A and B are shown apart, each in its own frame.
Chain A
Amino acid sequence: AQSVTQPDIHITVSEGASLELRCNYSYGATPYLFWYVQSPGQGLQLLLKYFSGDTLVQGIKGFEAEFKRSQSSFNLRKPSVHWSDAAEYFCAVNSGGYQKVTFGTGTKLQVIP
């Protein structure tokens, strides 16, 4: 069965610092990978997704993620964090089909001045 692990429950970074959120997945073949962001009191919004091809994927709001098959990872990065990036971030994997989307438990990002 597929699974997604986000090892960091909570991360605090200073505004302007770089950010990396970790995501590891477990699935036999190459999965479809997603990062979603949830601002306080809001639903989830897609940041980016990976299916195949270039392993470095660009998303909205200046985020990018890199797929590393050898490490079964799909880490999310941003070079310079803004206060408005404070939110909860979810990694998700889809091995195919309606009920095949598995979400990670989320990483809550706090940004300090």
Chain B
Amino acid sequence: NAGVTQTPKFQVLKTGQSMTLQCAQDMNHNSMYWYRQDPGMGLRLIYYSASEGTTDKGEVPNGYNVSRLNKREFSLRLESAAPSQTSVYFCASSVLAGGPGDEQFFGPGTRLTVL
């Protein structure tokens, strides 16, 4: 099993450009998440998908959109990138539907720089 995979690993954008970060998991998990990690801020939840066909906002959703394409794939789109979106983005998945004891499995991250 590959676990959680993310593409691309690195990306440089200019302000105003758009891009989609891809995430896939092969563990048959129901829930998927997108986080951003910034120095001194820990991880902050952008969006999550409790199950296939549903998505909801997290703590910092502004400037992002998501699509749960199927049970395996959950993409994050930046429609008009801004320098404030320079960050490391992590996708994660978990088995249960919102159980507080769920372990989350993380991908390796995408390092995004917006100039």
Interface residues of A (CB under 8 A from B): 4, 9, 31-32, 34, 41-46, 49, 51, 90, 94-101, 103-106
Contact = CB atoms under 8 A, between A and B. Distances in A.
Contacts of A49: 101, 103
Interface of B: 4, 31, 33, 40-45, 48, 50, 56, 58-59, 90, 92, 98, 100-104, 106-109
Contact of B106 (A4, A34, A45, A94): A45
B108 A41 contact: yes
Given A43-B4, A43-B109, A98-B56, 7 more contacts: A4-B42, A31-B100, A34-B103, A49-B101, A95-B100, A98-B50, A103-B44
Contact of B42 (A43, A94, A98, A103): A103
A44 B50 CA distance: 20
Nearest to A42: B108
Given A46-B103, A106-B42, A98 B108 contact: no
A94 B100 contact: yes
A43 B107 contact: yes
A97 B106 contact: no
Given A43-B4, A90-B43, A105-B42, A99 B104 contact: no
A45 B4 CA distance: 12
